[in-house]
Amino acid sequence: MAKRTLVETVINNEPVELLCEPRQSLLEVLRDELHMTGTKEGCLTGDCGACTILVDGRPVCSCLMLGVEAQGHKLETIEGLATGAELHPLQRKFLEHASLQCGICTPGFLMSAKALLDKIPRPTEAEVRYHLAGNLCRCTGYDKIVRAVLDAARESG
Amino acid sequence: MHEIHYEAPTSLEQAVGILAKHGDSARPICGGTDLLIQMRAGVRRPHYVVDVKHIAALTGIAFDPKSGLRLGAAAPCIEIFENATLRRHYPGLVEAAHLIGSLQIQSRASVGGNLCNGSPAADTTPALIALGAVARLVGPKGERQVKVEEFVVSPGRTVIQPGELLVELLIPPPPPHSADAYIRFIPRNEMDIAVVGIGAAITLEGDRCTAARIGMGAVAPTPLFAAKASQALVGKKFDAVAIENAAQLAIEQASPIDDMRGTAEFRRHLVGVLTRRTLERAAERARRN
């Protein structure tokens, strides 16, 4: 096995030191090393967005970044979205609007939506659809997801 | 993915040293949005992956009205389209950077990486060609500059020699009354690879065109500079006749193939349509400058 490298990062506001192999993607590191399995593996080619996390506030496909590249960066994953037992408004609205069926795409959609609302608190429908274009859902037809994000923005704004 | 060694040099000298030492078995990584997919598929198998995002010269974006733009090869697309100065002076390059993949991809992917990947369909390359961009390479034997239209030599292959690193793209300042534009055709609204992409930059003095450059993507094994089409516009009245003439010359130069994204015949048709539309969009902007 290749030499494991020490990576110092911040995940959901907690400083984290971890060891990983240079060939491991950040997605593999999150799931297999840190056992943070909320972030999902989809296509592994950057097309589906299921593995979306935020790196320094920007949405990124964690399958297209090496774990070692996280050194010194601030990561946000689905595990950090709720505050204790209290769901984030986006999570609550996804439930209210039935914006998920199988749920594999949901963590990625929520993180992309969070990045959008952090940047544009009251987006238009076109802005929501544009910012979620990198996330694929094969169950819902997208409409319920878009409505949930708009509703969450309305409530928070 | 196969086992790799990861290096993250903080200076150009270190980076070139590592790349020169390992030659073909080393490859720089910027956003990794092409490289990691290729490594997973076994298409590229570098043993040394050299992260060049910790080198200031590769991540900087500096505009000077006299000398133009120095665009670090590893600067991510998001920093290009969120940059008000670039949106003002290079709207076509910004358009190209803002339509590569999804926002997730644009957070990581760089214009330099797009060029070094060597795809004939790279979106930012025709935009760079239109702007007359030059690539600055540094290697063990010193540095050299290569015009972007001469950078890609065949699909996936570039002029970069073992040990060399693309540091930055040098883009001239936009002349008065000039502007650029980039338009691509894909069969959906977002998230696809260009069937054809056209970049254009033109300068107008009154109703006359005094300078023009057209770059074409996905119409040949490498991105092309449409030299005849561009030259045909210069010194002429910029009207429908001149635009149509340029579009026909661009079509003549294109040598597209049939593939799953479109037939050669359809691509030639698109070259005409997009050349007209891109020139018109660039002209509309130039009239306001």
Tell me what pLDDT residue B73 has: 98
Q: Looking at the structure, do residues A12 and A71 belong to the same domain, yes or no?
A: yes
Rounded to a whole number of angstroms, the distance from the CA of B230 to the nearest CA of chain A is 34
CA B136, B138, B141: angle at the middle one, nearest 5?
Answer: 130
**Residue B272 is part of a domain; what is its CATH number?**
3.30.390.50
Residues of B in contact with A26 (CB under 8 A): none
Q: Looking at the structure, do residues A72 and A130 belong to the same domain, yes or no?
A: no
C-alpha closest to that of A12 among A83, A103, A76, A106? A76
With CB atoms and an 8 Å threshold, state whether A23 touches B105: no
Q: Looking at the structure, do residues B205 and B130 belong to the same domain, yes or no?
A: no
Q: Looking at the structure, do residues A42 and A63 belong to the same domain, yes or no?
A: yes
Q: Looking at the structure, do residues B263 and B284 belong to the same domain, yes or no?
A: yes
Residue that is last in its domain, among A52, A80, A108? A80
Mean pLDDT of A33-58: 98
d(CA B77, CA B210): 30
Tell me what pLDDT residue A3 has: 81
At residue A86 the predicted structure's pLDDT band, cuts being 50, 70 and 90, is: very high
- Kindly state whether B78 is in contact with chain A, defined as any CB-CB distance less than 8 angstroms: yes
**Which residue of chain B comes nearest to A55, CA vs CA?**
B107
Rounded to a whole number of angstroms, the distance from the CA of A126 to the nearest CA of chain B is 12
When the pLDDT of each residue in chain A is averaged and rounded to a whole number, the result is: 96
CA atoms within a 13 Å half-sphere pointing along the CA-CB vector of A131: 26
Q: Looking at the structure, do residues A73 and A111 belong to the same domain, yes or no?
A: no
Mean pLDDT of A145-150: 98
List Cα–Cα distances, B3 to A4, B6, B42, in angstroms.
Answer: 11, 10, 12
Residues of B in contact with A22 (CB under 8 A): 3-6, 49
A 10 A CB-CB count for B267 gives 23
Tell me the percentage of chain A whose pLDDT exceeds 70.
98
**Residue B43 is part of a domain; what is its CATH number?**
3.30.43.10
Residues of B in contact with A115 (CB under 8 A): 103
With CB atoms and an 8 Å threshold, state whether B189 touches A133: yes
Tell me what pLDDT residue A156 has: 83
Whether the per-residue pLDDT at A56 is higher than 70: the answer is yes
Whether the per-residue pLDDT at A1 is higher than 70: the answer is no
CB A51 within 8 A of CB A42: yes
Identify the DSSP state of B138.
Answer: E
At residue A157 the predicted structure's pLDDT band, cuts being 50, 70 and 90, is: low
Take residue B209 and report the two structure tokens written for it: 């065109």
With CB atoms and an 8 Å threshold, state whether B40 touches A5: no
Q: Looking at the structure, do residues A64 and A116 belong to the same domain, yes or no?
A: no
Smallest Cβ distance to B102: which of A63, A68, A134? A134
Interface of A with B in 57-116 (CB under 8 A): 58-61, 63-66, 68-69, 71, 112, 115
Tokens 């760079």, residue located: B128
Q: Looking at the structure, do residues A70 and A96 belong to the same domain, yes or no?
A: no
Residue that is last in its domain, among B171, B206, B238? B171
List Cα–Cα distances, B32 to A23, A34, B114, B190, B288, in angstroms.
Answer: 12, 22, 10, 20, 38
Domain that includes residue B28, residue range: 5-51
Q: Looking at the structure, do residues A32 and A95 belong to the same domain, yes or no?
A: no
**Residue B147 is part of a domain; what is its CATH number?**
3.30.465.10
Identify the DSSP state of B160.
Answer: P
Smallest Cβ distance to B101: which of A46, A66, A135? A46
- Kindly state whether A120 is in contact with chain B, defined as any CB-CB distance less than 8 angstroms: no
With CB atoms and an 8 Å threshold, state whether B105 touches A64: yes
Q: Looking at the structure, do residues B157 and B206 belong to the same domain, yes or no?
A: no
Rounded to a whole number of angstroms, the distance from the CA of A37 to the nearest CA of chain B is 20
Whether the per-residue pLDDT at A57 is higher than 80: the answer is yes
Tell me what pLDDT residue A127 has: 97
Range B158-175 burial, b when 16+ CB lie within 10 A, else e: bbbeebbbbbbbbbeebe
List Cα–Cα distances, B243 to B126, B159, B214, B237, in angstroms.
Answer: 18, 33, 12, 10
Q: Looking at the structure, do residues A97 and A143 belong to the same domain, yes or no?
A: yes
Q: Looking at the structure, do residues B147 and B233 belong to the same domain, yes or no?
A: no
Residues of A in contact with B108 (CB under 8 A): 60-61, 64-65
d(CA B116, CA B114): 6
Residue that is last in its domain, among A29, A51, A80? A80
Q: Looking at the structure, do residues B140 and B113 belong to the same domain, yes or no?
A: yes
For chains A and B, count residue pairs whose Cβ atoms are closer than 8 Å.
86
Rounded to a whole number of angstroms, the distance from the CA of B53 to the nearest CA of chain A is 9
Domain that includes residue A45, residue range: 5-80
- Cβ neighbours of residue A50 closer than 8 Å, sequence gap 6 or more: A40, A41, A42, A43, A104, A105, A107, A108, A135, A136
Rounded to a whole number of angstroms, the distance from the CA of A93 to the nearest CA of chain B is 23
Take residue A100 and report the two structure tokens written for it: 């998920």
> B152-195 pLDDT, tens per residue?
999 999 999 999 999 999 999 999 999 999 999 998 877 889 99
With CB atoms and an 8 Å threshold, state whether A64 touches B108: yes
Residue that is last in its domain, among B15, B32, B51? B51
Q: Looking at the structure, do residues A74 and A125 belong to the same domain, yes or no?
A: no
Q: Looking at the structure, do residues B23 and B124 belong to the same domain, yes or no?
A: no
> B220-238 pLDDT, tens per residue?
999 999 999 999 999 999 9
Tell me what pLDDT residue B143 has: 97
Whether the per-residue pLDDT at A85 is higher than 60: the answer is yes
Q: Looking at the structure, do residues B232 and B273 belong to the same domain, yes or no?
A: yes
Residues of A in contact with B36 (CB under 8 A): 25, 63-66
d(CA B115, CA A46): 19
Residue B259: strand pairing partners: B262
Interface of B with A in 86-145 (CB under 8 A): 101-105, 107-108
CB B186 within 8 A of CB B46: no
A 10 A CB-CB count for A70 gives 25
Q: Looking at the structure, do residues A30 and A57 belong to the same domain, yes or no?
A: yes
Smallest Cβ distance to B37: which of A45, A49, A59? A45
Q: Looking at the structure, do residues B73 and B148 belong to the same domain, yes or no?
A: yes
> A92-136 pLDDT, tens per residue?
999 999 999 999 999 999 999 999 999 999 999 999 999 999 999
- Cβ neighbours of residue B127 closer than 8 Å, sequence gap 6 or more: B92, B93, B95, B96, B97, B180, B182, B199, B215
Rounded to a whole number of angstroms, the distance from the CA of B183 to the nearest CA of chain A is 18
Take residue A126 and report the two structure tokens written for it: 């076109």
Residue that is last in its domain, among A60, A80, A100? A80
Using DSSP, state whether B93 is helix, strand or coil.
helix
Q: The sheet that has B26-29: what strands, in order across it?
A: B5-7, B48-51, B26-29
Residue that is last in its domain, among B154, B171, B188? B171
Q: Looking at the structure, do residues A30 and A60 belong to the same domain, yes or no?
A: yes
Mean pLDDT by 10 residues, chain B (289 residues): 96 98 97 97 97 98 98 98 98 97 97 98 98 98 97 98 97 98 90 93 97 98 98 98 98 96 96 98 97
Q: Looking at the structure, do residues B162 and B192 belong to the same domain, yes or no?
A: no
Smallest Cβ distance to A60: which of B6, B53, B104? B104
At residue A2 the predicted structure's pLDDT band, cuts being 50, 70 and 90, is: low
Q: Looking at the structure, do residues B133 and B213 belong to the same domain, yes or no?
A: no
With CB atoms and an 8 Å threshold, state whether B103 touches A131: yes
**Residue A25 is part of a domain; what is its CATH number?**
3.10.20.30
Q: Looking at the structure, do residues A24 and A42 belong to the same domain, yes or no?
A: yes
Domain count, chain A: 2
Domain count, chain B: 3
d(CA B35, CA B27): 9
